[in-house]
Structure 1
Amino acid sequence: MDFRVGMDSRQQAGPPVPPQVAYQQPTAPRLEPPPAYAEYPPNPDPKAVYPNLPPLPNAVPHPHPVQQQPMPHLQGVRPTTVYVGSVAFSSHGQPLHCTTCQQEIMTRVAPKPGLLTYLLCGGLAFFGCWICCCIPFCVEGAQDIEHFCPKCNRFLGTYKRI
């Protein structure tokens, strides 16, 4: 039995189905290569484009060179010597020139826990040797060595085991 007595044929058919269209991949617009460098116009004079542009430092020598005045000699003032480079420190004291007190010295060494000390402690603790894990902090051979000047106590550098 059909219960759709009062409906016309359009309502019975349902919504219209759009026609099936095959998918086409979009194509990018074709780009041409940029022009060669010779085709670009030459750069304009910056002063013509920017008339209030300040001159660049050291770009063009000044027509009236500035004469430098000699430095006055100051009595009692010593020039500071700056040493550039590095010193390879060892695990023992070594002869060195202290740049602070200007003396030839034998460095004073002091052990300090470093990366090797903490790695050994962590390794001993990891393998269950909890009682022995503090031993690397007592062994100078497992610690970094700091070098100091014995006269002015200035820190000079560190010898790192790792």
Structure 2
Amino acid sequence: MDQKRAMLYPQVDFNAPTAPSPTPTRELGNPIANGLPIEAPPSYDVAVSVPVAPAVSAPAIAPARPPPVVVVEQPAPQPPTVVPTDTLHLGPNRSRVLCPACGANKTTRMTHTANSRTHMVAGLLCLVGFCCCACFVPYCMNSCRTGNHYCRKCNTFLGAYNPKGMNR
């Protein structure tokens, strides 16, 4: 316990010249009461300013020249070239077409997706109630679904075929 106290509160010799005074003196107390003049603290500019060293004559160094500017004129961008192609005649079956993207002359790949006609026919069959499984038949018939044509080489979408059998 005494060791902790000695570490926290060391013994100070007040007779030493560097020792702090045990009680505040009247000289350091209130400067107004002692008759000392009051000075305002320095302004920010004065407190932060860096003292300027006296000018020392240095050998003259020629300023570096900026690198020369080279102007290269680029040709004006050309508008994209549009090549008119014949309209693709896509039917309910695979068709042989010239792909506008890759230039391949191949038969298209088809996928069929359900459209609004498919959903209406399925709903009608469900309401009529022929059979509980009859409402799934339009989703299996290609005549009720949209046929999407794709290029076999580059897989580009070429167009869609919508069957018109029900709208005549």
TM norm structure 2: 0.45
Which structure shows the bigger proportion of residues in helix conformation?
2
Max Rg structure:
2
